[in-house]
Amino acid sequence: MPSKTALVIYEKCRPELCPAGICQAALICKRKILTQEKPYEMPVPGPSVCASCSDCVRACPQKAIRIVVT
């Protein structure tokens, strides 16, 4: 069975536009699929299993997150 994960579209990601440089998509994810080491850095997908809830997609003001089948 294919799994799903959050994908960051780095050409669109602009963490400096998020409040205090905190990625809103990483902040809202309950499973912590996306992580951000420090404010103003781009988030990266982690190894956790995505629930495909799309909360991160809706939270990203730059529309830089997609849920993809892996």
CATH number of domain containing 26: 3.30.70.20
The range of the structural domain enclosing residue 42 comes to 4-69
Full-model pTM: 0.85
Instruction: Tell the burial category of 67 from Cβ atoms under 10 Å away from its Cβ (0-12, 13-18, 19+).
Output: middle
Confidence of residue 4 (pLDDT cuts 50, 70, 90): confident
Confidence of residue 2 (pLDDT cuts 50, 70, 90): confident
User: How many domains is the chain built from?
Assistant: 1
Q: Write the pLDDT tens digit of every residue in 10-58.
A: 999 999 999 999 999 999 999 888 999 999 999 998 887 888 899 999 9
Confidence of residue 9 (pLDDT cuts 50, 70, 90): very high
